[in-house]
Amino acid sequence: MSTTEFNRHGNHVFLTTENAQETIELAINHIEEDARHKARSKAFEDCTAYWRTEIEKIHAFGGPPRAQLSRILNLFEIEVRED
């Protein structure tokens, strides 16, 4: 018997003792990678939202643009050097 059968619904894979282990490992690896990707995307979105909020707070507080810039530079620990 072939391990792949075609019908009107698409491909169907039949597990055999020869292909079951490899197929299951591929499926698990795919699920794990998908979960890692979603977690990284969520963490990036959360981090971006946090920093955006912090910058918006500085802007909402007001003050001269130079003072706002200074606070943003301090927030990100950016040191400006004038040569």
Domain definitions of the chain by residue range: 4-75
Please give the average pLDDT of every successive group of 10 residues along the chain, which has 83 residues. Answer: 53 76 89 95 96 96 93 93 80
CA 33 to chain centre: 11
Given a contact cutoff of 8 angstroms between Cβ atoms, the answer to whether 54 and 75 are in contact is yes
Taking only the tens place, the pLDDT of each residue in 2-18 is 455 555 566 676 778 88
Q: What pLDDT is attached to residue 21? A: 84
pTM: 0.60
